[in-house]
Structure 1
Amino acid sequence: MIDYACGIVGDRSSAEDIVQEAWIRVEAVERLRPPTEPLGYLYRTVRNLALDVYRARRRTGRRSAEELIDQGLQPADDAPSPEAAALARSDLARLLESLDELPDRTRQAVILYKVEGLKLREVAARLKVSVALAQTLVVDGVEHCALRLSREGRT
């Protein structure tokens, strides 16, 4: 089954993921309504998932690591350059400094909303304030940080 998917997508790692996903989907369907041809249904599911991955790669122009190695190329390194890493550390330091300049409740609201990903009503509940006030705190805090970073040449 993995070889079948690999023939479509071109790399074994993706093929293994596809077969696992197909197995999960077929199992879920079998619990509700067993297919008349379970093996055929599994193959069709693997084929459809593999074709989805193949088409997505073609749209984005992305090639698998195995395809690149087969062609004598090396996959791109996702690690940032030393300059980019240094710039990111500098930006983070300035952002943390600007957060420290905020009043405590505003800082907490920004962190809960932007870092922890809470919804405004959840931020409001945590801080024991209205949703409108939570929104104002977040907006004020984000504006302060953005203004501070833009004054120093980065947004």
Structure 2
Amino acid sequence: MARFAKGDAAAARDLAARHLPRILSHARRVLGDQAEAEDVAQEVMMRIWRIAPDWDAGRAKLSTWAHQVTANLCIDRLRKQNRRAAPTLDTDTVEQIEDHAASVPAQMMQRARLDALDAALATLPERQRQAVVLRHIEGLSNGEIAQILNITIEAVESLTARGKRALSAHLAKEKEALGYAQ
């Protein structure tokens, strides 16, 4: 951050390469819209640029701070849009894990599973969605999530547990169609 604050272009590229993909992924999963997620990610990076000269590395990790800003910006956008229905997703922009050895049917099944997960995530209340995305997709610890969402660890555990139960119930209806039937 100190090099970035001094205008070091390489430091700027390093920060963007390290943090932007996770910020964008977090925002896309919560908002369900690629363009909105890109706007949020850009705003987070602008805020990093603005706070860089005053950054105190001893107070917080930059990644935790960036996820907290991302979460807050996503909540603000969801509230402004006053979304009543589940957001629609452009399935062409959903991140796919490329497996060159996978067959076309296997790739189609994987896409269907990701689409079903995104649709199920969209049905969760915003706080549950944030907690589930941060914990189970972004892989953050409960402590980090508590800092990001400004709640207790117990609240994080409750949100993720309720979110997982709701996702499981929602996805159970599609178990056979998604190739999970026994």
Question: Shorter-chain-normalised TM-score: which range?
Answer: 0.3 to 0.5
Higher relative contact order (CA 8 A, sep 6+): 2
Q: Which one has a bigger Cα radius of gyration?
A: 1
